A and B are shown apart, each in its own frame.
Chain A
Amino acid sequence: MSDTLLELRSITKTYPGVKALRGVNLSVKKGEVVGLIGENGAGKSTLMKILGGVVSPSSGSIVIDGVSRLELTVKDAAHAGIAFVHQELNLFENLDVASNIYIGREPRKGGFLNLIDNAALHERVKPILMQLGVDFTPEDSVEELSIAQRQMVEIAKALSMESRIIIMDEPTSSLTLTETENLLRVIADLKAAGVSIIYISHRLSEVQQCADRVVVLRDGRQVGELAKDEITHGAMVRLMIGRDLKSIYVPPNVGVRPGGLELHDLVTTAFPERKVSLHVRRGEILGLAGLVGAGRTSLAQTIFGVEPAPSGRILLDGERLTIGSPRDAIAHGIYLAPEDRKKSGLLLDMSIAENITLPDLKRFSTAMLIDVSREEGVAKEQLRALAIKAPSIATEAVTLSGGNQQKVVLAKWLSMRPKLIILDEPTRGIDVGAKSEIYALMRDLADAGVAILMISSDMEEVIGVSDRIAVMHEGDISGQLERPQFSEHNILTLAVGNPSKEELVAYA
């Protein structure tokens, strides 16, 4: 077809050890809205990075305006009229709207003085803002704009570059309902003006509303395409799942015991209007599933006291706790292995031994002086018990592989007396061998009577490791599943926030 702007032909991208994309085809016509959906890690971001010229494909070709090429540079992408509206906005808060839109491309005056021609700048920005129908002016400071307004600034920026294809990556993840509707209206206007849009979202109802065509990715493969009249919630969910998961489940040796963690109407600062109630029993692994941004990490950090809860109750073994800081949580035996282990889980420049003993240093000291031999004894014990592969306990954490770093984080907590351990994405970026060691560790802990809350975006992991699964959607627990109900379909149905629970199927 002649009005095809862009076509990706059998794009493959291989990273060492991972096939991120396997022969994906994607075409975009003029004035078309293409919905791109898939689970976390399905390959959407890699595909978009290739379109933006940030990443080069391993094989395949990119056809723009009939010209085929093997890869794009950032410059090529901009030249071809491809623009991004990112999930995390890339704006300069200290500048005004107009300056942001034309950053790096400011109209100049004054010859060698190279002054910014503010009058011309504002003249150019005004019609674009009018076209978008926004409620702010070119002179407004970005600092004072809401997230939705900032998104509009990004879109205006894309339009100012005379973009023909705008890629929107989860544009509505932090918008309110009215703001979302406004955005969808702008998308319809843009489409009418002949601009093409690739719309990436976990929110299937929005995709259903705005997309002319939906492309579904799964495990780096393009698994289906839905034409306008085929786009339904059910059809999309069906395509997103459907791979056979290897069973890695190890049932508990000891049953669930009374007690554990209870949350009653707990409010997090990330979703102040939602109340979360949840029970993690001693001896079980509760998987906490959900899409990125569903509020799982916020919940974990609230329980751990990083951002204390504005309201609600936290009970451990029936006793009500007041947790105002991680220090309080740790004192009660609640430990967190955080999502970003390099930033908040470990002190990278410190040795393995120093990392392991840090939270419980007083136990290894007499009169506030550290007893190095006792410290080293415990560190060596943990190094052996967790099979941490390192030359010695004096090795700095920064030199370890991801799996071994995570083991050091766990060793830190295991040398104390855990009652509840929260693991946030425990195996992200960790190789298969170390993964199964960590799963085995978790099971041992549960059998020893620890309550385990595992946050994971990896379906195989959630289904394969959990004894029970709770699913979060936009700050709420949208449902809980017992093992017979475990399926990708059920988890995803809850994760996208489908209100009708009848869709849940039991696989007894």
Chain B
Amino acid sequence: MLKKELGLLILILVIGALTAAINPQFVSQVNLMNLANQIGLFGLISIGVGLVIITGGIELSVGSMFALLGIFFLDMLVNHEIVWPLALVVAILGGVALGGIHGLLVTRLKMQPFVVTLCGLLLYRGIARWYTADSTQGFGYGDSYETLEWLMSGRTYNIPHTFIFLLIVATIMGVVLHRSVYGRYLFAVGKNEEAARFSGIPTKAVITGAYVIAGTLAGLSSVFFVFYTQSVSPSAHGNFYELYAIAAAVLGGCSLRGGEGSIIGIVLGTVLLQVLQNLVNMLGIPSSLNFAVMGAVILLGVLADQQLQRRRQRQLAMASAEARNLAKEGAAGAAV
């Protein structure tokens, strides 16, 4: 099952090597650390969205959540001078609440995930713009949160904290998804909700849980992004970021039909996306082509993966026929 991830890793290394050959600046420490920072920022939310995709759902509202939660976070910190640990916790809890609402709307009121989160995308962005009267919010001159700033955007041994956070979260979520009871339930629900329910799995709670995790990570990320951009302009902050997350998850092997994906895959998908963005700069490709490059690579990547899948299915069908023959022979043997 790790073949897919290995393929992705090789692709990243090949692209990286080619870029480095053309422009050695690519592997300079400054560039690599900058890249690591970007990967850390986008990787967190891709993991959350990836989990929702594994349930067979989708989460479109994370970009707007960044704007809304970012605005509220700055407002608490700058205008209301709330101590930073409390502001941080409130921002994360805000994400938990929004994720929880999405989950309940999807499971209890049986709404389609696309619709629920699309409305979230519009709603949260709209509220953020209205609350600030569309004006950009910044930090001002307060310095009571230096610790938080260091935590969120600082470096240790020159490694960006965002990247370190991603490694920690990815490790935890990797264990949750691939080793825990919850992770097994998540895959089961994503593959066949009915069979999962017939096996006594609390399917609604499992699905809601995925949205809550995505919301939690969105809440945490919104604070990271505030410190990354240093200010929040509510109409532009986080625009399209939900699509980066979905793209990373899909590149990393999550099927939009649900039931498939891995944390390593999602992280590698994020890495590939960020490398591509970086490569556009490094190779002097006009930055307006940025999206086009990404779109082309995702399209080709998913196409290649599908061809491989089809080959695997053919092999499976053959194995299945063999197994049946085996069973028949076994039955015949028993009869004799």
The residues of A with any CB-CB pair to B shorter than 8 Å are: 304, 306, 325-327, 329-331, 336, 338, 343-350, 354, 358-359, 361-362, 365, 368-370, 389-391, 395-396, 398-401, 403-404, 412, 431-434
Contact = CB atoms under 8 A, between A and B. Distances in A.
B200 A326 contact: yes
B324 A346 contact: no
Interface string B225-240: 0000000000000000
23 contacts: A306-B198, A326-B200, A327-B201, A327-B202, A331-B200, A343-B192, A344-B195, A346-B195, A347-B196, A348-B191, A350-B191, A358-B199, A362-B181, A368-B180, A369-B175, A389-B330, A390-B323, A398-B320, A403-B327, A431-B331, A433-B331, A433-B332, A434-B331
B198 A368 contact: no
A90 B335 CA distance: 44
Interface in B174-226: 175, 179-182, 184-185, 187-188, 191-192, 194-202
B180 A369 contact: yes
B326 interface: yes
Nearest to B197: A326
Given A327-B197, A350-B188, 4 more contacts: A350-B187, A358-B184, A401-B327, A434-B327
Contact of A412 (B184, B194, B199): B199
A404 B327 contact: yes
A347 B198 CA distance: 10
A370 B181 contact: yes
A437 B200 CA distance: 26
Number of chain B interface residues as a range? 20 to 34
A344 B335 CA distance: 31
B143 to A, nearest CB: 42
Contacts of A327: 197, 200-202
A331 B202 CA distance: 12
B319 A399 contact: yes
B323 A368 contact: no
A390 B322 CA distance: 10
* Interface of B: prevailing SS: helix
Interface of B: 175, 179-182, 184-185, 187-188, 191-192, 194-202, 259, 316, 319-320, 323-324, 326-328, 330-332, 334-335
B198 A336 contact: yes
A396 to B, nearest CB: 7
Contacts of A396: 316
B83 to A, nearest CB: 33
B323 A399 contact: yes
A362 B200 CA distance: 12
Contact of B320 (A304, A358, A361, A399): A399
Nearest to A358: B199
Contacts of A330: 199-200
A304 B179 CA distance: 29
Nearest to A362: B181
Given A326-B197, A433-B331, A358 B179 contact: no
A260 B281 CA distance: 73
Given A330-B200, A358-B199, A361-B185, A344 B194 contact: yes
A401 B191 contact: no
A359 B259 contact: no
Contacts of A433: 330-332, 334-335
A503 to B, nearest CB: 39
Which residue among A336, A347, A365 has the maximum number of chain B CB atoms within 10 Å of its CB?
A: A347
A395 B200 contact: no
Contacts of A338: 198
A336 B175 CA distance: 32
A395 B327 CA distance: 14
Contact of B179 (A306, A370, A432): A370
B253 to A, nearest CB: 14
A498 to B, nearest CB: 35
Contacts of B320: 398-400
A358 B316 contact: no
A409 to B, nearest CB: 9
Contacts of A399: 316, 319-320, 323
A391 B181 contact: no
Contacts of A369: 175, 179-181
B167 to A, nearest CB: 20
A369 B179 CA distance: 6
B192 A348 contact: yes
A349 B191 contact: yes
B199 A368 contact: no
Nearest to A437: B334
A399 B322 CA distance: 9
B184 A389 contact: no
Contacts of A325: 197, 202
Nearest to A341: B195
Nearest to A331: B200
B16 to A, nearest CB: 33
B199 A359 contact: yes
Contacts of B328: 401, 431
B327 A389 contact: yes
Nearest to B175: A369
A361 B183 CA distance: 11
Most chain-B Cβ atoms within 10 A of its Cβ — which of A306, A391, A399? A399
Contacts of B191: 347-350
A343 B192 CA distance: 8
Nearest to B326: A389
Contacts of B202: 325, 327
Residue among A326, A345, A431 having the largest count of chain B Cβ atoms under 10 Å: A326
B182 A347 contact: no
A343 B194 contact: yes
B317 to A, nearest CB: 9
A398 B332 CA distance: 22
Contacts of A359: 199-201
Nearest to A337: B198
Contacts of A331: 200
Given A431-B328, A431-B331, A368 B316 contact: no
B184 A326 contact: no
A361 B181 CA distance: 6
A162 B51 CA distance: 55
Contacts of A354: 184, 188
A347 B195 contact: yes
A432 B327 CA distance: 12
B254 to A, nearest CB: 15
A358 B183 CA distance: 12
Contacts of A329: 200
Contacts of B181: 361-362, 365, 368-370
A400 B200 contact: no
Kindly list the 8 A-B residue pairs having the minimum CB-CB distance in the complex, ordered from nearest.
A433-B331, A330-B200, A399-B320, A401-B327, A359-B199, A327-B200, A358-B199, A389-B327
Contacts of B194: 343-344
Contact of A391 (B198, B323, B324, B331): B323
B192 A347 contact: yes
Nearest to B333: A433
B335 A343 contact: no
A354 B1 CA distance: 15
B199 A326 contact: yes
Contacts of B326: 389
B204 to A, nearest CB: 9
B323 A400 contact: yes
A390 B320 CA distance: 10
A343 to B, nearest CB: 6
A347 B320 CA distance: 16
A437 to B, nearest CB: 8
A326 B327 CA distance: 32
